[in-house]
Amino acid sequence: YKALCQGCGITVSGECEDPKVASWLLDPGCKEKTLQHLVGQYASSKMVILEGEVPCGSLTGSLALASQNTLSGRVRACTESVLVFSMMKKLRLDLVEDGLDYAFQKVEMPVMQCLVRMELNGFGFSEAECDRLKAILQAKLRTLEQEAYRLANHSFSLTSPDDVAREVLERLKSLHPLPRIILEWRRVNCALTKVVFPVQREKLFHKSLHMSRIYPTSQTHTTTGRVSFNEPNLQNVPRDFEIELPSVIAESPPLGTRRRENIQKPARSDHSGMSCAVSMRTAFVPCAGGVLLAADYSQLELRLIAHLADDSRLRKVLNGGGDVFRMIAGSLAGLEPGSVDDKQRQRAKQICYGIIYGIGAKALGEQLELGEEDASMYIEKFKSRFSGIRRYLKSTVEQCRKTGYVTTITKRRRYLPAVNSTHPH
């Protein structure tokens, strides 16, 4: 679809079938297979027509379209079409046998066509806005660096390993101002390195629209079925946040001097800087005369599990029309929703999503800043209040232990071979 559109200017309409997608549905945990591997697995009897056309041992790239082939492009294209057509006949039968034909035809392939159109259209990008955001973030980084060096009395690297630094810094930030400065520096630096620099590097100018656009590539071959994007990853754009910029911004010390040398403490200014809202999303813009529409599902995961678990009490709360998490918090605490404060609401939200994604008492306790026993009590209270959830979670695990996989409502499978393992991890 994409190759025809880009190379020939041809747009395909009607239903499409992709053998790679079909193979992935049948075995979502396997590595992405080349076309040759797929033909060898699903249409091996037809491989005879490739004799003399593909070098011996060649298992990468295209089939009859291999660059080493001396036949005309028309003959090679026809050869490959015959192989793919034969392969899809076998794949269709396997999809029907596993009950995946609906998921393939009505879910996955329409999604693939939608993703292709997204990749071809790209996303509008404002260079001026991105430059503005970069200047703000880099200025904030320099300010934070100077403050960190002042508090530590020497310069040092602020990019120490995440797994060690974050744990230590989170525990120390209430005892000393330096960890807070480092954590903020890392947040700002992440916005620069994960969003600003990649999108500036990947932008392309669209002559017809007279604007820069970003053309990410979608990745669908995952065991969970989750779609991701790369080059750049537009799903990794951070939420809006505020930073404070001083009226005078100091320069960072040279890279070669950032180790252990002592530095003079600059006097701390009593003048607070200006507050600046940073929204990375403002760099993504519509074309002239267009608009961007933002839409989101309301408590999607919670509504799904209420349906799957057939929990009448949770469904009643969700269909009540009020603030869902305030109502759940009131249900757990025996209060009217109007009497629930913001802290109780946030706690109920964390409990709901934590239980949906299988969080343990220890991890939930760390999120809620509670002891493990108290967190365990909240989990049990939720499951007792919404007993359908408890039954659904238990029956799902039991069924998975028997079959080795879980299924979605469209019969997609997620194989979990370690479900019966005695090893806790």
Instruction: Locate 37 and state its tokens.
Output: 């591997």
pLDDT at 388: 92
Cα–Cα dist 357/341, whole Å:
25
Indicate if the pLDDT at residue 185 is higher than 90. Answer: no
pLDDT at 195: 83
pLDDT at 400: 93
pLDDT at 270: 44
Cα–Cα dist 351/382, whole Å:
8
Indicate if the pLDDT at residue 238 is higher than 60. Answer: yes
pLDDT at 56: 43
CATH domain 127-248+273-278 topology: Taq DNA Polymerase; Chain T, domain 4 (1.20.1060)
Q: Please report which helix (H) or strand (E) contains residue 275, including its range.
A: strand 274-278
Residue with more model confidence, 154 or 29: 29
| Percent above pLDDT 70 for the chain | 83
Where does 64-108 have alpha helices with state H? 73-97, 101-102
Q: Per-residue confidence at 104, pLDDT binned at 50, 70, 90?
A: very high
Neighbour tally for 351: CB within 10 Å? 23
Q: Are 164 and 215 in contact (CB under 8 A)?
A: no
CATH domain 300-415 topology: DNA polymerase; domain 1 (1.10.150)
Taking all residues of the chain, what is their mean pLDDT, rounded to a whole number? 81
Q: Which of 52-61, 125-134, 328-337 shows the lowest mean pLDDT across its residues?
A: 52-61
Each residue's pLDDT tens digit, 6-43? 777 877 777 889 999 999 999 888 888 888 888 888 88
Cα–Cα dist 130/93, whole Å:
50
Each residue's pLDDT tens digit, 303-317? 999 999 999 989 988
CATH 1.10.150.20 segments of the chain: 300-415
Per the document, the length of the chain is 425
DSSP state of 359: -
CATH 1.20.1060.10 segments of the chain: 127-248+273-278
One DSSP character per residue, 300-364 reads HHHHHHHHHHT-HHHHHHHTTSS-HHHHHHHHHHT--GGG--HHHHHHHHHHHHHHHTT--HHHH
Q: Per-residue confidence at 267, pLDDT binned at 50, 70, 90?
A: very low
Which residues form the catalytic set?
A: 296
- Picking from 225, 206, 226, 228, the residue whose alpha carbon sits closest to that of residue 217 is 228
